[in-house]
Amino acid sequence: MRRKLHSIWLWGLLFLMTACGDDDYYYPSVKLEFVTVEAGEDGSIQTLIPDKGALLPVWEDRTGSTISPNTSRRVMSNYEVLPEGARIYSLQSLVTLDPKPEDDPVYKDGIKKDPVEMVSIWLGRNYLNMILNLKVSTGKGHVFGIVEDISELETKGIVNMLLYHDANSDAEYYNRRAYISVPLEKYVNAEAPGRTIKIKFKYYTYGEDGAPVESDKYCDPGFDYVPGQN
């Protein structure tokens, strides 16, 4: 089951590569955002696509990162916008979760609902993005997934989602961040490509007594996803 969910180590997640030396310092004009990057035939990063704004050719990638040729990847990037294009200072992988129904074999051992704290959640260029705060000891082996319910998609344009989180009995000593993007384009109807889709998202967090409780604060009203616009 684990090979189909997303198991991560929470010491900053997986860095593709970061530039060294002076580039470790803060640059006033540099942005830190979730973006999509695209590679050319040699696997080098050729294009950076911000969640808001126009596609940017990569003028300089100081990380020297490569991914599979002619593919794209969701990342968090420190980058600067120059007249020539984007200058990339750092790239950090995000956890990209493909939603699956509750009866999918990946969830054959049940839906795990270990709690998280929501730091931020927003729509951006056909993704539902979130930053989570986790309580960890080793930070190893946390597993994430998105459980989808599309029973109301055709009739009401609603997709219900639940965060799957298996902490694998990791003790709750320290705080660590997890960065997640959920692709939404699969819900677009080819016959009505501009239709607004309501995304209702639930997750488990900590109650006043510290016990896990379900949070539905992002269900009413939820997120209005308009394909191609957010």
pLDDT tens across 38-76, in order?
999 999 999 999 999 899 999 999 999 999 999 999 999
| Whether pLDDT at 9 is above 50 | no
pLDDT tens across 128-152, in order?
999 999 999 876 789 999 999 999 9
Q: What is the CATH number of the domain that holds 86?
A: 2.40.50.500
Q: Are residues 146 and 126 in the same domain?
A: yes
The least confident of 2-6, 46-50, 56-60, 183-187 is 2-6
Q: Are residues 164 and 113 in the same domain?
A: yes
Query: Residue 4: which pLDDT band, with cuts at 50, 70 and 90?
Result: low
Q: SS in 3 state form for the chain? A: CCCCCEEECCCCCCEEEECCHHHHCCCCCCEEEEEEEEECCCCEEEEEEECCCCCEEEEEECCCCECCCCCEEEEEEEEEEECCEEEEEEEEECEECCCEECCCHHHCCCCCECCCEEEEEEECCCEEEEEEEEEECCCCCEEEEEEEECCCHHHHCEEEEEEEEECCCCCCCEEEEEEEEEECHHHCECCECCCCEEEEEEEEEECCCCCEEEEEEEEEEEEEECCCCC
Domain count of the chain?
A: 2
Query: Residue 19: which pLDDT band, with cuts at 50, 70 and 90?
Result: very low
Q: Are residues 86 and 122 in the same domain?
A: no
Q: Are residues 59 and 115 in the same domain?
A: no
